[in-house]
Amino acid sequence: MRKFIVIFILSLMVYPGLTNAKFYWYDIQEEQDGIVYYDFYNSTLIDNDITYYKLINFNEPIGKESNIKSLIYLYSLNCITTSSTYASLKAYRGNMGSGDLIRDITMTKEEQEEGRRYITSAEKVYGFYRSVCDTVSGIGLPAYQDIWKLNYKGE
């Protein structure tokens, strides 16, 4: 499988007392029989100044559309660890989540605990992010796909 290194930016909305919050993202490990296998990786936000972007490296998933220039924004909506729903997420293509909704995912606790999520080829989302819900909820994670956007500071 070909892998590419691209740079992403994490832009976090202001949440008081957020320290050493861990965030997880996915990388496609393999594709077989129309199923895409994603595994978890993590990054840690060290300081409290969460109005600025944090840079991480990311292995680009296979099947990425090379002509996509826009931001894909994913937002954690629900983090109910006491029920069967662990996290619900929405993926948008456009500026800061105001663009077209391209994916709506609800992950169960069992799927999260297994550390793997199965998504069909038709449902692939490039740069799919998920915050760790029992650490902090409601964090927006924009993922930029182009180096020329690194200086963008949001609204």
Assigned token pair, 113: 């605990």
Quickly state the pLDDT bin for 5 (edges 50, 70, 90): very low
CB atoms inside a 10 Å sphere around CB 19: 11
Percent above pLDDT 90 for the chain: 0
pLDDT digits (tens, 9 = 90+) for 114-145: 444 443 322 333 333 333 332 333 333 333 22
pLDDT digits (tens, 9 = 90+) for 76-91: 333 333 444 444 444 4
What's the mean per-residue pLDDT of the chain? 35
Q: Give the Cα-Cα-Cα angle 31, 35, 102 (nearest 5 degrees).
A: 105
Nearest to 20, CA basis, from 54, 60, 62, 70? 54
pLDDT at res. 101: 54
Q: Are 120 and 35 in contact (CB under 8 A)?
A: yes
pTM over 0.85: no
Report DSSP state, residue 111. H
Assigned token pair, 53: 């972007």
CB atoms inside a 10 Å sphere around CB 108: 14
d(CA 22, CA 16): 15
d(CA 125, CA 121): 9
Task: Report the residue count for the chain.
Answer: 155
